[in-house]
């Protein structure tokens, strides 16, 4: 098999003495879409921040395109950053800038392209996500779905090899979320991009991902193709997939407590 485009080895991260990532290993191949799953607080965003080199781990090694991101020159790091398009949890657009200016930001910071070229590239990126007419608007004038699409346009501004998305469809209505899934699949097909995506939406993960990885208590307990993940017998995965919280809500003790509370407020069925 070819060398992985992203390779994570024995990654350990602690905050205030508490281990959040406890020896994580993961290889991502060029051109694949990998969905990273896990409960809230399991360390998904932390892992992404380390993969893009925003934070240094306690120990372990992260290589992107064969370069150790915690042990390379400033020039190599800048080149790597150009090759990674990132959209963080929430769209994180700058509210004082228009949509156009937001998309132009990486082009201005990381390239020395002339203004007219930047303007044309910005327009192409916005048109590709269906925001060709929205460039002059400010983020607060956009709907939630439009904001996410603008964030995708900004992440793809530099034609990166790798796209890293942290919950791009959180809070979107199902139709807009599905559109975003198709947009990601289009980017993969058209530009052979590698996509690492954190999502809580199972339908979305199973639609777009080639493989699925799951974080649980600081470790990756699964990295496999989505069919075998879906059929897994691992109780930790089943609990996640079958949404045990819903079953807990139906449990006798919870129901009893609800009846008690209803008695207190005098509510009747
Ligand atoms: N900069 C930080 N300083 C201290 N603790 C942090 C920091 N970043 C994350 N943590 C802690 O690390 C754990 C993992 O956080 P992380 O944001 O990676 O979770 P997550 O899997 O992305 O969760 P969610 O699905 O809710 O976004 C949490 O307990 C969080 O409180
Ligand atoms: Mg997160």
The DSSP secondary structure of 74-87, one letter per residue, reads: HHHHHHHHHTEEEE
If pLDDT is split at 50, 70 and 90, which confidence band does 198 have?
A: very high
Give, in words, the CATH class of 1-83+160-232. alpha beta
Which residue is listed with tokens 């949890």? 89
**Which amino acid residue places its CA nearest to atom 27 of ligand 1?**
40
Instruction: Output the CA torsion 210→168→54→13 (10° steps).
Output: -70
pLDDT of the residue at 37: 95
If pLDDT is split at 50, 70 and 90, which confidence band does 145 have?
A: confident
As a whole number, the mean pLDDT across the chain is 88
Residue range 241-252, pLDDT digits in tens: 887 665 666 677
Centre of ligand 2 to C-alpha 41, Å, is 7
Burial of 199 (0-12, 13-18, 19+ CB in 10 A): buried
pLDDT of the residue at 231: 93
Centre of ligand 2 to C-alpha 105, Å, is 24
Which of 17, 38, 39, 45 should be mutated for ligand 1, with most atoms under 8 A from CB? 45
18-56 burial string, b = 16+ CB within 10 Å, else e?
Answer: eebbbebebbbeebbbbbbbbeeebbbbbbbbbbbbeee
Burial of 251 (0-12, 13-18, 19+ CB in 10 A): exposed
Q: Residue 253 pLDDT more than 80?
A: no
Measure the CA–CA gap between 99 and 149, rounded to whole angstroms.
10
Sign of the CA dihedral with 157 first, then 162, 168, and 173 last = positive
**Above pLDDT 90, what percent of the chain?**
53
Centre of ligand 1 to C-alpha 15, Å, is 9
- Helices in the chain by DSSP H: which ranges? 44-51, 74-82, 99-110, 115-128, 144-155, 174-191, 202-208, 226-230, 235-241, 244-249, 252-265
Whose atoms come closest to the Cα of 13: which ligand?
A: 1
**Which amino acid residue places its CA nearest to atom 2 of ligand 1?**
15
pLDDT of the residue at 243: 73
pLDDT of the residue at 128: 82
Measure the CA–CA gap between 198 and 39, rounded to whole angstroms.
11
pTM: predicted TM-score of the whole model, two decimal places: 0.84
Residue range 99-141, pLDDT digits in tens: 999 999 989 988 888 999 999 889 988 988 889 999 999 999 9
Q: Residue 43 CA: which ligand 1 atom is closest?
A: 18
Pocket of ligand 1 (CB under 6 A): 15, 20, 38, 40-46, 89
Q: What ranges do the domains of the chain cover?
A: 1-83+160-232, 95-159, 233-269
If pLDDT is split at 50, 70 and 90, which confidence band does 91 have?
A: low
Measure the CA–CA gap between 206 and 225, rounded to whole angstroms.
10
**Which amino acid residue places its CA nearest to atom 7 of ligand 1?**
15
Residue range 24-76, pLDDT digits in tens: 999 999 999 999 999 888 999 999 999 999 899 999 999 999 999 999 999 99
Which of 11, 16, 17, 20 should be mutated for ligand 1, with most atoms under 8 A from CB? 20
**Which amino acid residue places its CA nearest to atom 18 of ligand 1?**
43
Higher pLDDT, 107 or 190: 107
């Amino acid at each position: 098999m070819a060398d992985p485009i992203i390779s994570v080895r024995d990654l350990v991260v602690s905050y205030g003495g508490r281990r959040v990532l406890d020896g994580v290993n993961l290889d991502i191949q060029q051109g694949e879409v990998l969905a990273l799953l896990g409960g809230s607080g399991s360390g998904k965003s932390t892992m992404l921040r380390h993969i893009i080199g925003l934070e240094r781990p306690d120990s372990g090694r992260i290589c992107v395109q064969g370069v150790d991101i915690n042990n390379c020159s400033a020039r190599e790091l800048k080149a790597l950053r150009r090759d990674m398009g990132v959209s963080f949890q929430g769209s994180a657009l700058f509210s004082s800038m228009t949509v156009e200016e937001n998309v132009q930001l990486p082009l201005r910071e990381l390239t020395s392209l002339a203004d007219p070229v930047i303007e044309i590239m910005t327009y192409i990126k916005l048109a590709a996500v269906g925001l060709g007419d929205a460039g002059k608007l400010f983020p607060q004038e956009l709907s939630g779905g439009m904001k996410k699409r603008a964030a995708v346009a900004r992440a793809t501004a530099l034609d990166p090899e790798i796209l890293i998305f942290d919950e791009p469809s959180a809070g979107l209505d199902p139709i807009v979320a599905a559109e975003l899934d198709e947009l990601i699949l289009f980017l993969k097909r058209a530009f052979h991009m590698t996509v690492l995506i954190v999502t809580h939406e199972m339908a979305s993960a199973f639609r777009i991902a080639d493989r699925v990885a799951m974080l649980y208590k600081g470790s990756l307990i699964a990295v496999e193709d989505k069919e075998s993940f879906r059929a897994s017998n691992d109780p930790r995965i089943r609990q996640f997939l079958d949404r045990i919280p819903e079953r807990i809500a139906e449990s006798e003790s919870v129901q009893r407590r609800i009846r008690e509370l209803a008695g207190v407020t005098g509510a009747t069925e």
